[in-house]
Amino acid sequence: MADLSLIAIILAVVYGVALVCVHRILLTYRTAQGAIAWIIGLLGLPYLAVPLFMLFGRNRFSGYVSARRMGDQTLAPLLNQFEQQTAAITSPQQEHLSDELQVLCKLARQPFTAGNHCTLLKDGVATFDALFEAMESAQDYILLEFYIVRSDRVGQRIKSILKRKLAEGVKVWFIYDDIGSAFLSGRYLKELSSAGARIASFGDGNIRRRRFQINFRNHRKLLVCDGTIGFVGGINLGDEYLGTAMDQEPWRDTHCRITGAAVLGLQLAWLEDWNWAANDIPRLNWDAPEPDPDGENVLVLATGPADPYETCTLFFLNCINNARSRIWIASPYFVPDFQVVNALQLAALRGVDVRIIIPEKSDQPLIRLAAYSYLVQASAAGIGIYQYQAGFMHQKVVLVDDRYAAIGTANLDNRSMRLNFEITTLSTGRALVRDVTGMLEEDLTKCRLMTERDYRDRSHLFRLCCRAVRLLAPVL
């Protein structure tokens, strides 16, 4: 009888926790499909589903929300200042912006800033050369935030520069992600810390607030030097972007160098993350430079699960729905939800040139399989899905007509749209739009247009696997 009583108690506790999880899902779910799947799992297999839900189930990063809303009082005025500027987007300086761009200002809680200059960095070599030069030239401080940091040649070069600048009196603050940089050696971090760098992992926020979940990741890659020059894009700190390894496919990726007031937008995004991770507000340069009359209008859009909206999803939908002649998107991970698929179909049906560039060879085999399952829908509507052949394409780029281009860290998948902290810079500058157009046109010459037959002519088992993997889209 004692054994039966113990089993009954355990069952009651497990199902009680499962019901608490179901209650939370019903109050906070964003998609009915995901909610139904979790509820079925929690009630049918609670022993398995409850631990999984604890790790992967939540879609709101409550601790970060608390840090943003009730954090250090020094941060609040900066956030309010940017929000007030955004609320005034109908001012004379912003009247020329279309409705679609004004919507993005509201999503970003920042205005477009004028007089910036953006330089397209087409590959890892160009990007690292520019990053190294900017850090070498820093006079006051260096802010880094990267999803993946490796202690390989690139990582050692970064460490060497930072230690040298620290010895010169330049301050260094460095954020890395626990999951992306899981294999970064403690020795690497200890050397930088001993040299005077302030270092925090994005998961450190769980010490003072709620636990950090591995489902939430800081996928941002940015660098700011002295508040005057910034970088953002898809490139992490690792040798794979140099394409020098004989036994490795070359990585094709893109970054962007920015000067002007938009750098302060990058800096604000970094500061929110640092405040979460380290509970600290460093003194930084917030003096915006005089805008260059020949410069570009630039918006910094930081997105993540702490936002009141699904900001990243709305960004993509806004771009797709407002495209007039073309929407070209390069993304290594193509597992969109039904909203994005429907928007792409509608754009193609109204005559927009819709092209999606994805890699033929991927570091995520499951995501590569899932992409095939979209071919029938894409072909029927006239959406072109192109497989990049010359290595692993990892860039995240959006081109809308000849009007604006966006470069950042967000992929066309559920993880970027709902779970990751991402950052994108969007420019209406003619020079950058022209450069991005030329870059993507060159990439397309190295691509193969996929057709419905790439899916239908494969084995039944292959098609079954593609459809099955697509069901896992919310957690891929």
Amino acid at residue number 360: E
Q: Look at residue 286 in the predicted model and tell me its pLDDT.
A: 87
Q: What is the pLDDT of residue 259?
A: 96
β-bridge mates for residue 447, sequence order = 388
State the chain's mean pLDDT as an integer: 85
Would residue 226 show up in a list of annotated catalytic residues for this protein?
yes
Whether 106 sits among the annotated catalytic residues: the reply is no
Catalytic option among 117, 239, 394, 443? 394
DSSP per residue, 20-49: HHHHHHHHH-S-HHHHHHHHHHHHHSHHHH
Q: Which entry of 226, 239, 273, 443 is annotated as an active-site residue?
A: 226
Task: Look at residues 256, 427, 442, 233 and name the one whose alpha carbon lies nearest to residue 332.
Answer: 233
pLDDT value of position 71:
47
Q: What are the tens digits of pLDDT across the range 153-208?
A: 999 999 999 999 999 999 999 999 988 998 999 999 999 999 999 999 987 544 44
Q: Which residue's structure tokens are 């699904």?
A: 310
Catalytic annotation, pick one of 122, 219, 253, 443: 219
pTM (two decimals): 0.86
Q: Could you report the per-residue pLDDT of 236-252, keeping only the tens digit for each?
A: 999 999 976 555 778 99
Measured in degrees and rounded to the nearest 5, phi and psi for residue 341 equal: -60, -45
**Known active-site residue 159:** no
**CB contact at 8 A, 446 and 393:** no
DSSP string, 265-333: HHHHHHHHHHHHHHS--------PPPPPTT-EEEEEEEE-TTSSS-HHHHHHHHHHHH-SSEEEEE-S-
The catalytically annotated residue of 117, 159, 165, 221 is 221
Parts of the chain with a pLDDT under 50:
69-72, 85-92, 205-212
Q: Are strands 420-427 and 217-218 parallel, antiparallel or unpaired?
A: parallel
Catalytic residue among 140, 204, 353, 401: 401
Among 273, 396, 413, 443, the active-site one is: 396
221 is an active site residue: yes
